[in-house]
Every structure is written in structure tokens, then in C-alpha cells.
Chains A and B, each alone.
Chain A
Amino acid sequence: MKFRRRAQQQQEEETVSLPGMYRVGEPIQDTKAPDGPIEDRWDTRRFQAKLVNPVNKRKLTVIVVGTGLAGGSAAATLGELGYKVKSFCYQDSPRRAHSIAAQGGINAAKNYRGDGDSIYRLFYDTVKGGDYRARESNVYRLAQVSVNIIDQAVAQGVPFAREYGGLLDTRSFGGTQVSRTFYARGQTGQQLLLGAYQALERQVAAGNVEVFTRHEMLELIVSGGRARGVVVRDMVTGEIETHLADAVVLASGGYGNVFYLSTNAKGCNTTAIWRAHKKGAYFGNPCYTQIHPTCIPQSGDHQSKLTLMSESLRNDGRVWVPKRKGDNRAPGDIPEDERDYYLERIYPAFGNLVPRDIASRAAKNVCDEGRGVGPGGLGVYLDFADAIRRMGREAVEKKYGNLFEMYERITGENPYEVPMRIYPAVHYTMGGLWVDYDLQSTIPGLFVIGEANFSDHGANRLGASALMQGLADGYFVLPTTIGDYLAGATSFGPVEEDDVAEARKAVQDKIDKLLSVNGNRTADSFHRELGRIMWDYCGMERTEESLRKALERIPELREEFWNNVKVPGDAEGLNQALERAGRVADFFELAELMCIDALHRTESCGGHFRAESQDADGEALRDDENFAYVAAWEWTPEGPVLHKEELNYEYVKMTQRSYK
């Protein structure tokens, strides 16, 4: 009740401060998480969940969109369970999903080091790392199944790094003080994804899964109030296809590409979840964006994407900038006492290992002070000179060799001799479609897993937790919870033809429109401009003023897009320009919602930093009194409606995060 009142008060305030931008609707609740001790909740839910008769599973079709860690593992597991699975990806093979690019590792509460780790500690660290904006029940379950993921991956033949005794090696990773991160050199995502991919292909061979590559989901089919299928475009033939099912799983990843420049793959897009959002799925916390501190800085306007350097580099590299503003000397010429190892100075306890949001903002601050290095002063040094002195070049090479090579390939500089230059870049979106404990969205039968959901990371994701969450959702959580929904499939009834026709028409209309504008600008040029607006006004630091400016500019630009975009060719056959234009169109709409969400959340938390809300030291200042909720946004033609899901912390006490 107290919460209700608070919400109402706030609503009044907001209708004054944000007139016409959004309305506040009924609060929303996660009705699926069981009560009781947190350790037992997942067990309880698994026992409560209804089972599907093995004979009936064969008759049930599940669509899985996306083949990354979450989608690939889910499709494989559902196939093993006996469901008929249809799996879709826009790439030419399921093995190429962008999970493949994850470098650093995967967390698991195995406590193989005996360094005090436990399921509870992983749970605690994740809730704290997420700046108290994640659900306790979900996070605890994530920590619980983390150990099963490692077992599963090892059994699949994932070649994790090992010690001389033949046991698995672990390391400590961004923002944690225990060594719980399992890794496969700098290619952990690749190895885990190939494990899931191979499991998926095994099911293809067994006839349980059908994979549709080079197919892009463009619309969700909702019939009788349930998600019943998708409309996809065969990107090779251009054909618009309808696929019906008993449940739909979206595992289409994050939307970091709304910023144009990000560490996402070029094809990553929001279309699948945005279409679902417009069909009734609430969007949770769209403004929570993770800016990764260790990326290779932009080299020019031609830049098409940014490349991440694994955060593991911060284990041995030291971050610094010159003490003096505008110091243009070569790094080697700057004496030790004229360098500012600012992370070690400001955060003596965690030093270079502070969580991502903190490291990113600190880099931005020193660059804003005019102490940045490299082109445009947008960079800080990540220096391995000490590590090379201490461990020897060979040891450094062994640990980071492939990352150093990658850096040199891109920049043409040798990081063994010259310190690396790094700068923060958009990396991950904690927000996504709102789901309950069962990972089901507000549309019955629509499940959302991996980065595509608003997930378990709260306002900030810890390093090596994305792989963990994707695989937890795909291998262990969804295959159990979806059964509870599918057990009632006999009562679903047939899919209404009108609903299918409407979805197909929406897709066709949009394609026709894009092709008919025939203006003077490419979709990419709009995308770049949108990205610039988002980075400048809704990026690492947000203010009311900047967000308002963004909300003015985005609709103007969107308007121009629909009147002036040029998409060559036709819809028959492969047309990459058409694909891109369709994605950019959806990014425009999402961008606006992100800014509204960022504007309404006047506190700072995790990946969302509002300049108005900081403490005396410039650290993010949460407002737990007013904002300890998940913002779940409903799409309506009249504008977004905010539904708040209150967050309760029974186990982890809410405190101001401190890494000093």
C-alpha cells in the first residue's frame, strides 16, 4: 500500500514535470516467483510447474528467434526434450550470433579456489553490482544454476583453460574479489557458443530442430491473446513467411546498436523485441545501458563499430592519463610522477578492477577535464609496462597475446611498447522486454531470454555475467518454465486467420513504404546521426536538459527518415540496404522510449547516470525511496504507459555502492 501511495505521489509530480510524455498505469507484479526461503524458490517453482506429457511434446511447436548463447542453448534443450523447434537467425549460420565475441569469461559459484565464494556470494555480488535494481529471486536462481552451466559446457567439450593438474583454471574479473570466472583464453563466448551450436546441430540432425538461417523476424503473431507465431523475411529470396507455433521465445539479443557505434555486431538490432513490444509486451528499464570501459577508441568518422578489449586486461594493465591538461608528450616521455593512475588513486580498494560503470565514467571525467589522450582527447592509457617488468613479456604474451595482436591489427600500434589507448563504448543493454520469474513476457506464450529480456543484471551487469545469464536462461530455466505454459496448450485453439493477415500486412506495408520513399539519404547516415544524438544526450551521463534535447531531435530525425531515406532495389532477393533501413526505423522508436525512461528516472543507478543525482565525490546517487522499481513500459498509440514493479530486498541490504 505504501508503494501505491508513493507511486501516486510521484505520478502527480511527473505529470507536472513531463507533460504528455507518458502516463502511469497500474503497477505490475511478478506472480510466478514463489515465496519462502530464497534457496528453495527455484526448487519450489520447478516442482509446481506443470509437466507436458512426453507424447504431447512432439505435437507442440516452439519458435526460438536468435541462436546466441540463450537461443542456441534453449533450442537445443527444447529439441532434446522432444518439442518441435523452429530456430531462426539472420546470419548464415547459427554459430555466428554475437555471443561469439564475448571474450573474458563466465562466472560460476563453484568455489574451486576455496577463496570464500559461494552461491550466496555470487548472488550478493550480482545484486550489489546491479546497483539494487534486480530481482533477488531471479539473481539467486542465476547463481544456483551457474554451477550446472560449467558442468554442461565441460561435458560438451568446451576447452576451458586448465591448470597443470588438469583442473579448471579461474580468474578474478571486473568488479569481484573472488576468482570465479572460467575462461577459454580470450574467446570464452566463442567456445561456449560453439558448444551450444553443436548441441543445436545435433538436434537438427536428429530431426527435432529446424534452423532457418538468413531469416529475419519482422512481426509477432498474437492470436487469442497469446503469442502464436512470427512473420519472417527470407533474406535470400525476399519471401515473407508465416510460422505458427504454440509458444514463441525471443532470444534476439540487446539493442546497443541504437547508438550506431557499439561493440555489438553490425546486424544486432531491436526489431524482434520492438515488434513484440508494440504487440503488447512491456519493455523493462530501456535506459539501462552498459558502457564498457576498455574499448579501442574511435579513429575517424568512417568508424562502423567499436571493438572491445577484454576487461581481463585490467587485471594487469594500469589505467592512467597525464596529470597536466593538454600534455601532448608521447606516453614514454611522461615521467612517473606526472602520471595520474586515477582509478588506483580514487578507488584504492578495487583500483583498476572497479565495476564497468565506474571505470567508464571515471575515464569520461578525466577526458572531460582535458586530460584525455590520442585523437580528439578521447582516450586513456592502459599500460602494461609494469606487468611486463613484473611477469616478463612472455607471461604477458601468454595471458593476453591474442588481445594484443587484435589491438595492433586495428590501431597499428604495438602495445608491448606503447601503452594501449582505451575509451568507453556501448557494450550491453541491461534493459529489455519485461519478463516474470518464468521468463514470460506480458504476452502469454511469449518468452524472452538472454540479453533480450530486462534480466537479472539490474542497472549494471558485472563482467562475465552475460554468458552466465544467457546459458542459465537457455539451458536450465526456460526449458522448465515453458513446460508449465505448454501444459495448457490443448486449450489454445486455432490461430485466427485475421491475426496472421494483419501481421503480414504490417510487414509488407513497412517494406513497401521503405522502398517507396526514394529520398536523398542512406539508412546508415540516419543511423549515424541517431547514434550521435543518443551518445551525446543519452550516453554515459544524462541530464534533464540533454534528454529533452534528444526527445526533440529524435522525432524530427525520424520524420526526416520516413520522408528522405533512400533504399535502392526491391524486396525480391537479397537487399542488405532494405534490411538495414527496417532496423533503423525501429531503433528510432526505441530511442525515444529510452530517453523517456532515462528522463523519468531522476536518480543515478548503475549504467544510468543522471548528472543531477550524484554525491559530493561525483559518484552515482540512487534514490531508493522513489525509484526502487522496475520501469515496465507499455506501448500504446497515445504514448508509453509506465507500470512499476516494486523491488523488495529481503536478503541484500541496500547500501550505497562503494568500491573505495
Chain B
Amino acid sequence: MNLTLKIWRQNGSSDKGRMVTYRVDDVSPDMSFLEMLDVLNERLILEGDDPVAFDHDCREGICGMCGMVINGVAHGEQKLTTTCQLHMRHFKDGDTITIEPWRAAAFPVVKDLVVDRSAFDRIIQAGGFVSVPTGSAPEAHSVPVPKADADAAFDAATCIGCGACVAACPNGSASLFTAAKITHLSLLPQGQPERESRARAMVEQMDAEGFGGCTNTGECTAVCPKGIPFDTIARMNADYLKAASK
């Protein structure tokens, strides 16, 4: 199939940036979206042009490195799918596809479709861990965890930190990302001692990074490639309110 791509090009963080139109022909429906961009880039290199910079690594939907807003939807319209796992069979011959980077003040553009998501690391630094130095752990079976709690914690823990939630949120909020980690740890007995301080510190860091506020639109969950449940945000709010009221 033949496609027209409208891609955001921005040469470095100080450049203003613009949309540039490219044509890509002979796209196979079995290609992944990134493989389609590979084809474009190979051509651009040979033509002496600057290839389109985009982040990617594992290309199997787990590292969280890739991410583009495709036709106005973070990671494209295919549900529960990262950009690297999106395949061209979901597009039609002659389609025009708009490709943009995650848009958020807290995610400044590095180049083209590459953004800086280090704000997420700093949110984790604020408290997204259990303080357990290596070697100090008790025997694993000393604390049984109800299966339902372990499963729910796992569901929250599958977050890949890609940032699609922020990109999709009309408010540019990072609540789903932050809530996923808070929920994962607050559901487990191991996370209890630091539960409140964690919620408080992480929420405050999230606000300090310049993300928007949550208005519970649910756009984040809808585009999340891992389907992080929306109730994680309620849990974050509960933990935060409890911590803040002390």
C-alpha cells in the first residue's frame, strides 16, 4: 500500500518545528509501524536527508521506549498496543497518517518524535520503591500475600512508563503513571511502612514536574498499552488524602 505521512520535524529543543509531508510506497501490511518508518528513514539517508528520529528499543511492547501520537491518538487507535506493536494491516492504501511526538511541557522534545521523559524517573525517585537494601530481605514465604492483592498489584505494576497517559490526557496529567506505582506498592504488605510518605512524595513530585491536574476523563486508561486500571488513581488519591490529612 502507498501512504502519505505528515511527520513532526524539529531539529533539537530550540528549533520551532513543523509538520513535513512524506510519501512511502510499497508498504507491506505485515510491517510494524516502526518498520514502515525504517523504510522511510533508509530512503532519507540515501537521499542525503536527515532521517526521522524516534525512540524505540525492544520492539515487542514492553520497554516503553517508543511512543508517537498517530492520527491524534497516543500509540494509534489499536487498543492495548504500543507503537512498535501496531501493524500496518490496520491502515488502508492511500491513507494519510499524522505522526506527532508526545506533547507535554514536562516532556520537552529532544528531536523530531523523541521526547525527554526523565520526569518519570524523578517521580519514582521521590518514593516509588520499598526501602530494602540488598541482603536485608526476610525469607520470601514469611509474609503470605492474598492472591487477589498480588494479582491487582501485578496489574498496576505492568506499567511500562511510556508516557502515553500523559500524551492522551487533555490536561497533560501524569496521574495514571504515578498512581500505577503507588497502587502496586500500596496493595502489598511490603509496601505498607512507606505507604503514606510514598503517596505524598510522589504526588508532590508529579506536580512539581509541571504535569496537569487530573479531571478523571479516563483518556489515559483508554490509550494505555498495558490497560492500567483507572481505579489506581482513586487509590492514589485515597493514600494521598490520608497522608495529607496527617
Contact = CB atoms under 8 A, between A and B. Distances in A.
Decide if A and B touch, CB cutoff 8 A.
yes
Given A151-B140, A576-B51, A201 B129 contact: yes
Contact of A101 (B62, B130, B140, B151): B62
A168 B87 contact: no
Interface string B12-31: 10000000000000001011
B97 interface: no
Instruction: Please classify how large the interface on chain B is, using the bins under 10, 10 to 19, 20 to 34, 35 or more.
Output: 35 or more
Contacts of A626: none
A100 B133 CA distance: 21
B42 A157 contact: no
A77 interface: yes
A303 B134 CA distance: 41
A76 B141 contact: no
B87 A412 contact: yes
Interface of A: 73, 76-77, 80, 91-98, 100-101, 110, 112, 148, 150-157, 159-168, 184-185, 187, 190-191, 194, 197-199, 201-202, 204-205, 211, 213, 236, 263, 265-267, 299-300, 302-305, 307-308, 405-406, 409-410, 412, 475-476, 479, 520, 522, 524-525, 566-569, 573-574, 576-577
Contact of A475 (B46, B134, B139): B134
A266 B32 CA distance: 14
A80 B132 CA distance: 10
Contacts of A162: 144-147, 150-151
Given A157-B153, A569-B50, A573-B111, A148 B63 contact: no
Given A95-B161, A166-B145, A187-B62, A110 B87 contact: no
Contacts of A100: 58, 62-64, 160
Given A159-B150, A159-B157, A95 B31 contact: no
B162 to A, nearest CB: 10
Tell me whether chain B's interface is mostly helix, strand or loop, or mixed: loop
Given A93-B161, A155-B136, A201-B124, A568 B141 contact: no
B137 A267 contact: no
A148 B138 CA distance: 9
Interface in B46-69: 46, 48-51, 53, 55-65
Contacts of B220: none
A266 B34 CA distance: 11
Given A155-B132, A201-B124, A299-B30, A110 B154 contact: no
B214 interface: no
A444 to B, nearest CB: 25
B73 interface: no
A168 B44 CA distance: 52
B39 interface: yes
8 contacts: A100-B58, A101-B58, A101-B60, A201-B129, A205-B125, A305-B59, A520-B46, A568-B48
A601 to B, nearest CB: 31
B128 interface: yes
A302 B28 contact: yes
B85 A98 contact: no
Given A98-B58, A157-B185, A166 B138 contact: no
B38 interface: yes
B114 interface: yes
Contacts of A184: 154, 157
Contacts of A187: 62, 158
Nearest to A524: B42
A167 B141 contact: yes
Interface in B83-139: 85, 87, 89, 110-111, 114, 116-118, 120-121, 124-126, 128-139
Contacts of A164: 147
Contacts of B150: 159-162, 166
A22 B116 CA distance: 46
Contact of B65 (A92, A155, A236, A308): A92
Top 9 nearest A-B pairs (CB, nearest first) are A166-B144, A155-B137, A198-B129, A159-B154, A151-B137, A299-B30, A205-B125, A154-B140, A265-B57
B81 interface: yes
B130 A157 contact: yes
A406 B53 CA distance: 26
A165 B62 contact: no
Nearest to B80: A405
Given A101-B58, A154-B190, A304-B59, A96 B50 contact: no
B111 A91 contact: no
Nearest to B29: A412
A91 B137 contact: no
Given A91-B63, A299-B30, A568-B49, A198 B128 contact: yes
